[in-house]
């Protein structure tokens, strides 16, 4: 049976660079972002993300994110695939733990989750997970 972990996150770093202009304000970018998670997940998350911005400022993004920290008192790391949208005011994403990516006491971790962040320094997350 899955357990839910929920909490908040704060942006700790953001390095985003355009690698292709698409005309007007549309562009493709690559970003490396750092986050500090608190609550059901305690630790740091580094995300490497590709973004497609439309001319109206909205965007879709996809990437991989590595979490290093603690879940339910167990320490380790895992990698999650993340896909999302930015509607101009709020970014929302869905996460999926990549099977076999868990290390140390998080080996065997599986699950799916989501996050939401209005423009600003942080947001909320939840992860429904199973851990052997």
Q: What is residue 1's predicted lDDT score, i.e. its pLDDT?
A: 81
How far, in Å, CA of 120 to CA of 6, rounded? 19
Do strands 122-130 and 110-118 pair parallel, antiparallel, or not at all (unpaired)?
antiparallel
Q: List average pLDDT for each run of 10 residues in the chain, which is 132 residues long.
A: 94 96 96 97 98 97 98 97 95 97 97 91 95 86
Structure tokens at 75: 């320490």
Residue 1 has a CB neighbour count (10 Å cut-off) of: 3
* Domains of the chain in sequence order: 3-130 (2.40.350.10)
Reference 49, options 65, 70, 38; nearest CA is: 65
CA dist 107 to 19, 63, 110, Å?
Answer: 35, 21, 9
pLDDT of residue 46: 98
């Amino acid at each position: 049976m899955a357990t839910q972990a929920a909490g908040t996150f704060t942006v700790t770093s953001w390095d985003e660079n355009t690698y292709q202009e698409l005309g007007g304000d549309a562009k493709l970018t690559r970003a490396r972002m750092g986050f500090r998670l608190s609550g059901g997940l305690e630790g740091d998350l580094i995300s490497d993300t590709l973004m497609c911005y439309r001319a109206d400022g909205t965007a879709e993004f996809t990437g991989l994110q590595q979490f290093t920290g603690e879940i339910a008192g167990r320490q380790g790391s895992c990698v999650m695939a993340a896909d999302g949208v930015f509607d101009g005011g709020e970014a929302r994403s869905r996460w999926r733990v990549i099977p076999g990516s868990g290390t140390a006491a998080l080996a065997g971790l599986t699950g799916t989750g989501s996050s939401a962040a209005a423009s600003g320094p942080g947001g909320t997350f939840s992860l429904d997970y199973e851990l052997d």
